[in-house]
């Protein structure tokens, strides 16, 4: 049996929990599907889901546990909750931006944020950005913020030039 994290984010889907989990697992290293539970006969009058259909999928991304729930259409994912993806390089930013953005609505992309095809919001951020934004020289951090606000996908070289005042 897999070790369960003390806190596990639960993502609510109408009926795409398994498809979403497989999509995310295909993108990240150190990832996999852990368990799939299915609806039974009990509770049909409440949930309305066919017996045998997927109820939950427990999966792991980069070692972090998640649960995907097929709970029905009454709730949807919102940008009020997003996942910050810390990237070591521009190549990593590009990889995750392309993979997570595949099939997504490109009109909902700004300042390193994107909403994937399932409606989950991601902030794909080069780790160096955090150092730049917390620099005690506010002129540097202000220039970085100004550059960042003009971008969709974050471009580390552009942010670095802004930081250096070039």
Q: Would you state the pLDDT for residue 4?
A: 64
Q: Would you state the pLDDT for residue 2?
A: 54
Q: Would you state the pLDDT for residue 66?
A: 97
Q: Would you state the pLDDT for residue 5?
A: 72
Q: Would you state the pLDDT for residue 48?
A: 82
Q: Would you state the pLDDT for residue 49?
A: 87
Q: Would you state the pLDDT for residue 6?
A: 85
β-sheet with 32-38: strand ranges across: 10-13, 64-70, 54-61, 32-38
pLDDT in tens, 95-139: 999 999 999 988 889 999 999 999 999 999 999 999 999 999 999
- Domains of the chain, first to last: 10-70 (3.30.720.100), 82-164 (3.10.180.10)
pLDDT (tens place) for every residue of the chain, 166 residues total: 555 678 999 999 999 999 999 999 999 999 999 999 999 988 888 878 889 999 999 999 999 999 999 999 999 999 999 999 999 999 999 999 999 999 998 888 999 999 999 999 999 999 999 999 999 999 999 999 999 999 999 999 999 999 999 9
């Amino acid at each position: 049996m897999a070790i369960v994290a003390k806190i596990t984010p639960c993502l609510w889907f109408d009926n795409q929990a398994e498809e979403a989990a497989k999509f995310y697992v295909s993108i990240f290293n150190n990832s996999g599907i852990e368990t799939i539970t299915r609806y039974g006969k009990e509770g049909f009058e409440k949930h309305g889901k066919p017996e045998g259909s997927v109820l939950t999928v427990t999966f792991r991304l980069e070692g972090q546990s998640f649960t995907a729930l097929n709970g029905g259409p009454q709730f949807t994912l919102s940008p009020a909750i997003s996942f910050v993806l810390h990237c070591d390089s521009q190549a990593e930013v590009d990889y995750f931006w392309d993979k997570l953005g595949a099939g997504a609505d490109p009109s909902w992309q700004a300042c390193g944020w994107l909403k994937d095809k399932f409606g989950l919001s991601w902030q794909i951020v080069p780790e160096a950005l955090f150092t730049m934004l917390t620099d005690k020289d506010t002129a540097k951090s202000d220039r970085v913020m100004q550059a960042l606000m003009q971008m969709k996908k974050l471009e580390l070289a552009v942010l670095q030039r802004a930081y250096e005042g070039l």
